Each structure stands twice: as structure tokens, then as C-alpha cells.
Amino acid sequence: MRGTRPVALPDSLAGTAQVRTVCSYCGVGCGMLLDVARGADGRRTVLRATGDKAHPANHGRLCTKGATTADMLAAPGRLTTALLRAERDEEPRPVSADDAIAETARRLRAVVDEHGPDAIAFYVSGQMSLEAQYLANKLAKGFVRTNQIESNSRLCMASAGTGYKLSLGADGPPGSYEDLDRADVFLVIGSNMADCHPVLFLRMMERVRAGAKLIVVDPRRSATADKADLFLPVRPGTDLALLNGLLHLLVENGHTDPAFIAAHTEGWEEMPAFLADYPPAAVAETTGIPEADLRTAAEWIGRAGEWTSCWTMGLNQSTHGTWNTNALINLHLATGAICRPGSGPFSLTGQPNAMGGREMGYMGPGLPGQRSVLVDGDRAFTEELWGLEPGALRADGSGRGTVEMFRRLADGEIKACWIICTNPVASVANRKTVIEGLEAAEFVITQDAFAETETNAYADVVLPAALWTETEGVMVNSERNLTLARAAADPPGEALADWRIIARVACAMGYADAFTYGSAEQVFEELKGAANPKTGYDLRGVSYERLRATPVQWPAATGDGPDRNPIRYVDDEAAGPVFPTASGRAVFFARPHIPPAEMPDDEFPYVLNTGRLPHQWHTLTKTGKVAKLNKLNPDPFVELHPQDARALGVRDGDAVEVASRRGRAVLPALVTDRVRPGCCFAPFHWNDLFGEYLSINAVTSDAVDPLSFQPEFKVCAVTLTKVATGVTADRAPVAGIAAAGVVGVVGVVGVAGVAAVAGAGAAAALP
Ligand SMILES: Nc1nc2c(c(=O)[nH]1)N[C@H]1C(S)=C(S)[C@@H](COP(=O)(O)OP(=O)(O)OC[C@H]3O[C@@H](n4cnc5c(=O)[nH]c(N)nc54)[C@H](O)[C@@H]3O)O[C@H]1N2
Ligand SMILES: Nc1nc2c(c(=O)[nH]1)N[C@H]1C(S)=C(S)[C@@H](COP(=O)(O)OP(=O)(O)OC[C@H]3O[C@@H](n4cnc5c(=O)[nH]c(N)nc54)[C@H](O)[C@@H]3O)O[C@H]1N2
Ligand code: SF4
Ligand SMILES: [Mo]
């Protein structure tokens, strides 16, 4: 897969050049070429982004978001200096990055000295580079010695990660994108791939066009469901019943693989009795899926030579998200469809480097190399890696995830919070807790590339970050593939690479011995030392030099090994997989169906589901500035079924209040039978920057999965009420952040006139 090597523009050269990098949106991790020009002032800017034909993730394709990267980079609104406010009621004023870093270090030091290390929390992101994630965790656990570090992956991949660890012994998918080229049947469950992983969806659809069957499970008829051979419109939160019901039928039909079960798994003994509770009639009743369709799905899976499942937030963002993962993996173990080309349970990562963050241990008790502070040997190993005395790392674990961390901040247990590359005021379930936490905190630091975000408005210090096109760093995609992001353009003003800001604050806090690095490459060379023979995690054979020639998929133990390592856990094909559990066997778990934490009742009779649109990214700090994308998905909305709309007297475009026990949003109605009667759906992209009462996370439930601590964004109970006042867009940006230090202001899109076309992602994916 070594392609031609575009040359990076030497600093001394004028003219244009092409720089090879990676898309910074979703976890597909498409390879990207940037055309770069040097202006008369000597500064480099990106003119155009195109797909990298030599990259194994996309072979040259990009979706609308990736393809408009140059527009996004050219948009105004970047932070060019740091911002600081001495008092809470003051306007923030621009200060030099040097001063802001010194002030950050001084105040963090003071908090630790006064209140102890646990008074400081870090909240980081799957959109940071591997190097920045590694340094954040090293600073938090190794040097500040707080046990409070969380990441936005807690909202995203925590259930998949926890489920993988329990079922297979280690986190991360056992297979690869190549499985999509080989499978005979796809089970896409709780994943709107057409909109959210468009390039991968196109790859899967090539195989479907060649005759493979596509089964889609989703309570909403998504763009992905539109393309299904068999669509199972499951009742919200009933996937466990469905998955157990499918396994019941596979057993009944004689479609299990007893030899595989005997040789490579444990826990099967319990399953037949457990599955007796999930006969098709009962499952049809629970899930709302006709018995005949359940039987068809089970037949297709049972008769498939190879079959692959893909899942994302529809399974993870649940109070039984970990169990969902276990139940899905049960199906693969029972049919032996795992660890061979074309077969496996494939969790699609949302963010471009969420996989890297999980590997670096940036959630809760994690340590680099798929390790944990809860394991004695893992702590000892990491103490050596970080040059700490034995016993330095704390063993007392951490809390219960992002939601609890912000709760502790609100309760005054945590005094200071450093938020990097994530926008929790907009994105955390029941966001009221986040707002209370930031208001109660003594010291809030945000580190962002853009001046205006919902969270920056609460910061005492805002640190200006360079984007991935302005610095170097490694990103790890959904299939464990490492791509090097390279500096193609100059950062605006004083913006600095995230890893550099973290390292400089650490040095200023007194940890210079452990945080003096000249380059991201030096950080990478250090973090490679976290290879883990127990789980198979291994980057030792990867170097920046190698990555300049080609992406490399881990496990990669040696520099001269293959660049692609598509299947894990199989050393000897004849012997089959050996899983990184104590017994070497994968584990069946009997996971009974339980309903979501909050079900509709007389008071709150509708179910609210939330998610994404094809042409917007999260809280809109990036895509919201791109005219081409705003044209495709211009406005927020709430989808409701025609029957419900009639009963409520609501027509398209009417303002509808969506209210739960926690809060309310007011959104224009979009009447559509994409949603089931009794259900509604709202995207979470539009928040305070675009108007009042747009934030759907004022409404969502923060009940969490007891194992993964991931909140249940996909199900809560709400009322829907037509409200008389029209929804008006507040076109002014929110107060709280001075325009000083800012290149320009956000181009705000309007709310009125719902023309949103959900589900155009794949159709609009560019070749
Ligand atoms: N365009 C775009 N692409 C993105 C992103 C973006 O912001 N915009 N974000 C990226 C990130 S970080 C992530 S995590 C991924 C998310 O990717 P997805 O998970 O595919 O996206 P969502 O829209 O959050 O939810 C997926 C589907 O889950 C369904 N669902 C809801 N409740 C249930 C349920 O009870 N059971 C089942 N089976 N399904 C249910 C929803 O109806 C929805 O269609 O997308 C990534 N890609
Ligand atoms: N209701 C509802 N809420 C959800 C979800 C849902 O399905 N429904 N999904 C959840 C999921 S899966 C996710 S992943 C989260 C995502 O939630 P967030 O992480 O909060 O969303 P983003 O908008 O991606 O925030 C990234 C922030 O980092 C900034 N940024 C971008 N690049 C850089 C950089 O290089 N360096 C720095 N320092 N900053 C940068 C951006 O400007 C932005 O402010 O949302 C969660 N929230
Ligand atoms: S599918 Fe689209 S958003 Fe995702 S990495 Fe590829 S180009 Fe970027
Ligand atoms: Mo995500």
C-alpha cells in the first residue's frame, strides 16, 4: 500500500505543494491530500482537499465533510491568542500564550497545593492526536496524580470498549475494513453508517450490490435503513431482546458452530437455558419486529459463509450498552464468525482518534497500552515508562465517568477543570450539570481551536490550539490504522499544538524533567514503549519515518513487518484464535433484556432519540462555518410522526417544545414517518451559539450504564407541545467571549424554515 509520496513543502520554497494527511472528522480515518500554497507573506494555506488513493481506509474517496476541509480551514473564528479573565464577571481579554500558560500552571499548582490532586480534573477528546492524549494522561495520573481524567469517548465508545474487554479480553475490533469486502451478510445495528461513516458505507454497499445481504436495525428509518434488504424497526432500547432472539433461532436452526464454541469459548453451558426465554413470539412482542422478519434475519446470518456486524451509538449510548456489545459478540462466537476474513463484530469509532485515546487510557482508570491503574503489574510497568518511583501511581481507580465528574465539580469536590478539544456544555447528556459544575469551579481552562464555543464562554483561561493541519501527530482509525497528520499550513497567531501546550503547562508546574520534548515524534517514540504483550497492542515497529511512507495498522511489532495486520488474535491459522483472556477463550455472557432507564408514561408520553445529520459535525464549531454544508443541513428540527403531529395539531415548521424532567428545547417540527409513532428525533448539532432553547442536551437523560458509565443519549421520556411563538434564531453569537483575539465571527445559520433533508450523506458522498 505504499503510494507515491507527495512532498511536504520545504520552508524555504514558494509555490504550491501537496501534503499527505488524514481527515479530522469521523473515525473512518480517510487519507487526504492537501494542496498547499505559500502566499506573498510567506504563510502556507490549504487550497483544496482530495482523497488519497493510496490510503487503505478510503482508496481516494471523501464524503462531503472531508471534501470541504479547505473551506473549513479558511473560515474565520480561530483563536489567535489566549484569553484570560481575572474575575468571573469580567470580559475575557487577549493575552499572550506564554502568559496564559504560566497563569494556568500557577493556578493549577495552587489548587493542588491547597486542595490536593483530586481537586483537578482533565476532560479530553478523541479528536486530539495520540501524542496529546498520551501527555494529558501522563500529566494527570503520573505527575499531578489526580484520578480525575475523562474524555468525550465516555459519551461514545465506552460501552463498546467495556464490552470488548469482557467478551474478548481486550478492547478494539478483532477485524478490519477488509471484512466489508468479504462478508455475505451485514448486520448494521444502531448505526447510521450512510450519514456517519459514509465512505465505509459506500464500501459496504459495493459488496451489497455484488449480492451480500444488508440487515439494518434502528427505531428510525435512517438513510442506512433505506438501503437495507431487511429493515428491522426495533422499539427503542430493545436490542438485547432482539439479539438474544436471533441467537435463540440460530440454535433452533442448527446454525451454530459447535467445534468453534468448544475450542475457543467459555460460558456456553449457560446459554441454552437462558435463550429459552427469547422465543420469536416473545421477542416480536418486545421489539415490535414481526416474527417472520426475525426468522429471515436469523436464516441469513445462519446460512452466511461470512458475516460482519457494525454498530455505533444506537447500541453504545444505552444504560445497557456494555450488555448490547456482549450480546452482539455472542452471535459471532456462536457462529464462529470472528477472526477470519469477512467476519467479526466491528465497532465503528466515532472520532478520528478515539481508538488512539482508548489505547492511551484516557478514560477513568486507563494507562497507556491498554492498561489500567487497577492492575498492579500495569502500574509498575507504567511507573517505569514514566520514570516514577515504584508505588507512585495511585491504585484507587477513579469515578464513574464524565457525568459524575461534572457532578463532583458542581458539588465542589473538584475545584479546577481543564477541558481540551471538546465542548461539554453542548454535548453532555443533561448538560445542566456541566453548567453548574463550570459555574461552581474555582478555575476553568478550555483549550480549543475556535474562539466561540458554548464551553469557552465559561472559561477563565482559553488556550489557543493549532489544528491537525498545522502540526504533526498520529491518528488511529476504527480499524487500528495509524496515519501521520503533517503540518501543511501555519497556525494562526499564537496557536500551538495541543501536545505542546500540555507539555509546556507541565514544565511550568515543575515537571520539566518528564515533559521536555522537542517534537511530537519524540513523544511518539516514548509512547511506543507502552506495547502490551497481554493484549497484543504493539506500535514498536512504527516510526514517523515509516508513517511518512504509508499508514500502518497495529499490531506492528517490527519495522519490517507488514503494513496491514487485518486480523487480531490469530498467530496460527490452523489452531484458530487465542483471545487475551485468562483462559485464552472468548466469553459468552447471558445478558437479559432490560428496558431503558426512563420509559414514557402518562406525564412524559414520547420517546426522544438524538443523533447526527450527514453534513454537520457535532457542535458545529467546524462544519457550521462551511457554506456548502450549511446548505445541505441548514437548520435544527425535531422529527415527529404524522399521527402524533395530527394529534398535537402540529404542522411542518411549527415550533414544538420538547420537554423532559430535566429541561426543555424548542425546535421546528419536521413531520415524517421516518420515526415511529410515539417517538421523536432531534440532532444535537445546534446549541447556544445559534439561539436559545436549541440545545437538546438540556433534555436528554444522564442515566449511565453501570459498567461503562456511558449515558443513555438515545432514550428519554418527553412531552411534545406546540408553542405559539415562532422559533427565532438568535443571530448574535453568545456573550462571554470577547471578539478580541479572534480572526472573525461565526457565520450563524438561521433556524426558521425547516428545509433539512435527513439522510443525504451517502448520496452526497463525493467520489
Ligand atoms: N455526519 C456526521 N458523521 C459523524 C459524526 C457527526 O457529528 N456527523 N460524529 C461521529 C461520531 S463521534 C460518532 S460517535 C458517530 C455516530 O454514528 P451513529 O451512531 O451512526 O450516529 P447517531 O446518529 O448518533 O445514531 C445512530 C443511530 O442509532 C439509532 N438508535 C437510536 N436508538 C436506538 C436503539 O434503541 N436501538 C438501535 N438499534 N438503534 C438506535 C438512531 O436512530 C440513529 O439512526 O458518527 C461519527 N460520524
Ligand atoms: N444528544 C446527544 N448528544 C451527544 C451525542 C448524541 O448522539 N446525542 N453523541 C455524543 C458523542 S458520541 C460525542 S463523540 C460527543 C462529541 O462532543 P464534543 O466533543 O463536545 O463535540 P465537538 O463539537 O466535536 O467538540 C470538539 C471541540 O474541540 C474543538 N477542536 C477541534 N479541533 C481541535 C483541536 O485540534 N484542538 C483543540 N484543542 N480543540 C479542537 C472544537 O472547536 C470543539 O469546540 O457528543 C456526544 N453528545
Ligand atoms: S468518511 Fe468523511 S468524515 Fe469520515 S474520515 Fe472519511 S471523509 Fe472524513
Ligand atoms: Mo462519538
For residue range 182-227, list pLDDT tens digits in order: 999 999 999 999 999 999 999 999 999 999 999 999 999 999 999 9
Q: Ligand nearest 710 Cα, by number? A: 2
Domains and CATH numbers, the chain: 11-74 (3.30.200.210), 82-156+352-534 (3.40.50.740), 158-348 (3.40.228.10), 606-761 (2.40.40.20)
Pocket-testing residue among 21, 22, 28, 479, ligand 3, by greatest number of atoms within 8 A of Cβ: 28
User: Pocket of ligand 1, candidates 69, 218, 328, 427: which has the most ligand atoms within 8 Å of its Cβ, to mutate?
Assistant: 218
Among protein residues, the one whose CA lies closest to atom 4 of ligand 3 = 26
Residue type, 456: N
Give all strands (DSSP E) within 286-356, no chain letters: 307-311, 344-347
Give mean pLDDT, residues 485-510.
98
Residue type, 601: D
Residues framing ligand 1 (Cβ under 6 A) = 26, 156, 189-192, 195-196, 217-220, 222, 234, 236-237, 239, 312-314, 350-351, 609, 611-612, 614, 616-618, 714
d(CA 619, ligand 2 centre) in Å: 6
φ/ψ of residue 475, rounded to 5: -120, 135
Average pLDDT score over residue span 625-636: 98
Q: Is 63 in the pocket of ligand 3 (CB under 6 A)?
A: yes
Pairing type for strands 93-95 and 44-51 reads unpaired
- Which strand (E) or helix (H) includes residue 217? strand 213-217
Mean pLDDT of 351-369: 97
Mean pLDDT of 492-503: 98
Q: Can you tell me which atom of ligand 3 is nearest the CA of 67?
A: 7
Best residue among 50, 68, 197 to mutate for probing ligand 3, ranked by most atoms within 8 Å of CB = 197
Identity of residue 295: R
Would you state the pLDDT for residue 726?
52
Is the pLDDT confidence value at 4 over 60? no
Q: CA-CA distance, 220 to 230, in Å (whole number)?
A: 14
Instruction: Say how far residue 114 (Cα) sits from the centre of its chain.
Output: 35
Q: Are 449 and 720 in contact (CB under 8 A)?
A: no
Q: What is the pLDDT of residues 19-52, one digit of tens each?
A: 999 999 999 999 999 999 998 888 999 999 999 9
Name the pLDDT band for 340 (thresholds 50, 70, 90): very high
Answer with the residue of higher pLDDT: 339 or 742: 339
| pLDDT band per the 50, 70, 90 thresholds, residue 398 | confident
User: Percentage of the chain with pLDDT > 90?
Assistant: 90
Q: Please give the Cα distance from 312 to 193 (Å, whole number).
A: 9
Predicted local distance difference test score (pLDDT) of residue 754? 28
First to last CA, the chain: 20
Mean pLDDT, rounded, for 47-65: 98
pLDDT above 70: residue 728: no
Cβ of 62 closer than 6 Å to ligand 3, yes or no, is: yes
| Closest alpha carbon to 717 in 731, 732, 704, 700 | 700
Closest atom of ligand 1 to 683 CA is 23
Please write the tens of the pLDDT for every residue from 414-442: 999 999 999 999 999 999 999 999 999 99
Total residue length of the chain: 767
| 441 Cα–ligand 3 center, Å | 36
Q: Report strand pairing: 185-189 vs 307-311.
A: parallel
Band (pLDDT 50/70/90 cuts) for residue 399 is confident
Average pLDDT over residues 651-658: 98
Q: Which of 476, 552, 473, 540 is nearest to 132 (CA)?
A: 473
- Residue 259 pLDDT more than 50? yes
Provide the pLDDT for residue 391.
96
Give kind and range of the element (H or E) at residue 350: none
pLDDT of residue 490: 96
Answer whether residue 751 shows pLDDT above 50: no
Write the residue with the smallest CA distance to atom 45 of ligand 2: 427
The secondary structure of 647-704 as a DSSP string is HHT--TT-EEEEE-SS-EEEEEEEE-TTSPTTEEEEES---GGG-TT--GGGTS---B
Condensed to tens digits (0 to 9), the pLDDT of residues 517-576 reads: 999 999 999 999 999 999 999 999 999 999 999 999 999 999 999 999 999 999 999 999
Report which protein residue has its CA nearest ligand 1's atom 24. 611
User: 443 C-alpha to center of ligand 2: Å?
Assistant: 21
Q: Which ligand 3 atom is nearest residue 765's CA?
A: 2
In testing the pocket of ligand 3, which one of 193, 195, 199 has its CB within 8 Å of the most ligand atoms? 199
C-alpha 29: how far from its chain's center?
A: 12
CA of 337 to the centre of ligand 3 (A): 28
For residue 740, the model assigns a pLDDT of 30
Q: Give φ, ψ of 18 to 5 degrees.
A: -115, 130
Arithmetic mean of pLDDT over the chain: 93
By percentage, how much of the chain surpasses pLDDT 70? 92
CB-based contact 645:628 (threshold 8 Å): no
Handedness of CA 260, 265, 269, 270 (dihedral sign): negative
Whether 92 lines ligand 3, by a CB cut-off of 6 Å, is no
Cα 34 from Cα 21, distance rounded (Å)? 7
Residues 6+ apart with CB under 8 A from 383: 389, 390, 391, 392, 393
What pTM, to 2 d.p., does this model score?
A: 0.94
Give the pLDDT of residue 6.
Answer: 52
Q: 273 CA to middle of ligand 3, Å?
A: 44
- 735 falls in which pLDDT band (50, 70, 90)? very low
Q: Where are the beta strands (DSSP E) in 439-502?
A: 443-448, 461-464, 473-476, 481-485
For ligand 2, residues with CB inside 6 Å are 125, 127, 152, 155-156, 313, 317, 350-351, 420-424, 426-427, 447-450, 453, 465, 467-468, 498, 610-611, 618-619, 621, 684, 696-697, 700, 713
**Ligand 3 binding pocket includes 66 (Cβ within 6 Å):** yes
Query: Residue 234 Cα, ligand 3 centroid: separation in angstroms?
Result: 28
Among 325, 320, 279, which Cα is nearest to 587's? 325
List the residue whose alpha carbon is closest to atom 10 of ligand 2. Answer: 155
Average pLDDT over residues 458-483: 98
Residue 764 has pLDDT above 50, yes or no: no
Indicate the pLDDT class of residue 16, thresholds 50, 70 and 90. confident
- Which residues, in sequence order, are CB contacts of 647 under 8 Å at separation 6+? none
Collapsed DSSP state (helix, strand, coil) of residue 26? coil
